[in-house]
């Protein structure tokens, strides 16, 4: 063949790799396997808003999930995008006194997108230390405290003093004050086993959730009893929060 003759149709340039045949193409969208649901987390709350973790689950059998889109509806309003995380949970600062619905969709690494899947509507409620849903034995003192949720707390420092919080919902949280002079309390729900919760710490932290509990949706009673920790017995009731 002359040097300048055109290459035959089946000639392949040296160094080129053959294109694989029957390559699988991912056209299947991911699946949301668990709907978005809220939960309390321990730690400091805002002056009004409460950090709530919204978590869900999803799966994609082929290329894997790239990210999620989480949408929020407040009090029945239109949904709006609040986050596009890689992981299947986010923490949102929610204001008590409102109802919320979250929905989520997943996008896989091939660009396939699932439909939106919505969780159940829930309401976040806040109960200040003076709320009628809380009853106290004698020996509790009301005190203004800078940084507290709502600006004040009730406290007791004698062992056996207790507060009873009656609520309706599926989750409850207790907010207190952490400091070097604070002690422990025992908490039980509906007469169950008591958990000992310490509010002692190396520095002052106000409006801090120190205890959370998930329960069967319905009416419940939480009993908080002061332990009377030697040297630092004081326990504050700042607020209770409920997911209903």
Contact between residue 52 and residue 213 where contact means Cβ atoms under 8 Å apart: no
Alpha helix (H) residue ranges in 101-222: none
CB atoms within 10 A of CB 28: 14
Cα–Cα distance measured from residue 93 to residue 116, given in angstroms and rounded to the nearest whole number: 22
Which of 138-145's residues contact partners 24+ apart within 8 Å by CB, and which partners? Answer: 140/237, 145/177, 145/206, 145/236, 145/238
Q: Which two tokens stand for residue 229?
A: 């920790």
pLDDT-based confidence at residue 8 (cuts at 50, 70, 90):
very low
**C-alpha dihedral, 200 to 176 to 54 to 187, nearest 10°:** 80
Phi, psi of 122 (to 5 degrees): -140, 160
Instruction: Give how far Cα 38 sits from Cα of 8, 53, 84, 236, 244, Å.
Output: 67, 6, 17, 26, 10
Per-residue pLDDT reduced to its tens digit, 105-162: 999 999 999 999 999 999 999 999 999 999 999 999 999 999 999 999 999 999 999 9
Per-residue pLDDT reduced to its tens digit, 155-208: 999 999 999 999 999 999 999 999 999 999 999 999 999 999 999 999 999 999
All domains of the chain, ordered by start, with CATH? 31-120 (2.60.40.10), 126-243 (2.60.120.260)
Structure confidence at residue 148 (pLDDT): 98
């Amino acid at each position: 063949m002359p040097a300048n003759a055109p290459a035959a149709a089946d000639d392949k340039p040296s160094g080129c790799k053959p294109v694989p045949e029957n390559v699988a193409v991912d056209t299947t969208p991911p699946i949301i396997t668990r709907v978005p649901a809220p939960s309390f987390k321990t730690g400091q709350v805002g002056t009004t808003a409460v950090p709530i973790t919204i978590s869900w689950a999803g799966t994609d059998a082929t290329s894997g999930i790239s990210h999620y889109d989480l949408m929020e509806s407040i009090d029945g309003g239109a949904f709006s995008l609040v986050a596009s995380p890689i992981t299947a949970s986010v923490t949102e600062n929610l204001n008590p006194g409102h109802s919320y619905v979250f929905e989520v969709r997943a996008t896989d690494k091939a660009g396939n997108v699932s439909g939106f899947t919505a969780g159940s509507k829930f309401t976040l409620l806040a109960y200040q230390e003076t709320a009628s849903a809380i009853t106290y034995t004698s020996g509790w003192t009301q005190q203004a405290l800078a940084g507290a949720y709502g600006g004040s707390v009730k406290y007791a420092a004698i062992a056996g003093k207790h507060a009873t919080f009656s609520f309706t919902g599926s989750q409850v949280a207790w907010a207190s004050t952490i400091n070097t002079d604070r002690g422990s309390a025992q908490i039980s729900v509906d007469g169950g086993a008591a958990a000992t919760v310490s509010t002692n710490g190396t520095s002052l932290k106000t409006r801090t959730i120190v205890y959370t509990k998930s329960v069967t949706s319905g009416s419940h009673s939480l009993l908080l009893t002061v332990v009377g920790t030697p040297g630092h017995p004081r326990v504050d009731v700042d607020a209770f929060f409920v997911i209903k």
